[in-house]
Amino acid sequence: MRQFIIVVSVFLCLATQQAFSQVKPKIYYVYDPLCGWCFAYAPIMEKLTIEFKNQVEFVVVPGGMIVGDNVRPIREIAPYLLQAIPQLEEASGVKIGQPYIDMLKEGSYIASSYKPSLALVVFKSFQTGREVEYAHKVQQSYFIDAKDIMGDSLYLDLALQFGVSPEEFMKRMSDTAYQTKTQEHFDFASYLNTKGFPSLVGKSGDSYVKITYGYLSEEESRKKINKFLRKQL
């Protein structure tokens, strides 16, 4: 009997160690739906998510770049955005849509990071594992087609595209619990102190480690992720 208890105890100890060894390190992708450089980085982020899916748990964190007093007609930042577009396109190969450029020139549209961020937080609650893809799709709708990210129709359409109940999706969008979680995401992004978007932050024990800051090429991003992972061994 005593021998049986010892064997069971050893088995449980080994099982516990194995479980801990299988825990993937986390990397937080801190972005903002209204960040053009995040849109440019999104195709790279999608590739990295697939490439490292067996090694890393990626967590998408919206940062709340344009909320509160920062929400204003787009004409106030349009000159800066229009000037930055050629640089963004040259650096990334991503193309900004003419409808978005026309919207900037017209200038009356008012956009906030809040609603698309809330939509991302709600989408995460369905646990599809496609959060990076969803965040990219919202940005494509905005930066290419200039779709209204402040209304409901975009999120209803995307729910269908991603196999999620549109009715349940919008119900959760109205739920104060998810609205609170959205603010918690903003607060967490601020706590990570990334200084800008897009950024990758790794969790190492009880500490957070900056992996990337700002737009980087796919190759450079891969190198920095691998460097972070080597330090976790």
Per residue in 20-46, pLDDT tens?
446 889 999 999 999 999 999 999 999
The pLDDT of 71-76, averaged and rounded, is: 97
The pLDDT value recorded for residue 22 is: 60
Q: Please give the residue that has the higher pLDDT: either 17 or 193.
A: 193
**pLDDT grade for 3, boundaries at 50, 70 and 90:** very low
Q: What is the mean pLDDT of residues 81-97?
A: 97
**pLDDT per residue over 160-208, tens digit each?**
999 999 999 999 999 999 999 999 999 999 999 887 899 999 998 889 9
Residue 11 scores a pLDDT above 90? no
Enumerate the β-bridge partners of residue 199.
Answer: 30, 213
Please name the residues in contact with 156: beta carbons below 8 A apart, sequence gap of 6 or more: 166, 169, 170
Indicate the pLDDT class of residue 4, thresholds 50, 70 and 90: very low
Percent of residues, the chain, with pLDDT higher than 70: 91
- Buried-exposed string 106-118: b where 16+ CB fall within 10 A, e elsewhere: eeebebbbbbbbb
Those residues with Cβ within 8 angstroms of residue 126's Cβ, 6 or more apart along the chain or in another chain: 164, 169
In the predicted structure, residue 7 carries a pLDDT above the cut 60: no
pTM across the whole model: 0.88
Predicted confidence at residue 16, as pLDDT, reads 37
Q: How deeply is 179 buried, as exposed, middle or buried, from its count of CB atoms within 10 A (0-12, 13-18, 19+)?
A: middle
pLDDT value for 20: 40
Higher pLDDT, 16 or 157: 157
Distance from CA of residue 7 to its chain's centroid? Answer: 45
| Cβ-contact 31, 62 below 8 angstroms | yes
Query: Is it the case that residue 2 has pLDDT exceeding 90?
Result: no
Residue 53, pLDDT above cutoff 60: yes
Answer whether CATH 3.40.30.10 is correct for domain 24-230.
yes
**Residue with token string 């709600």:** 122
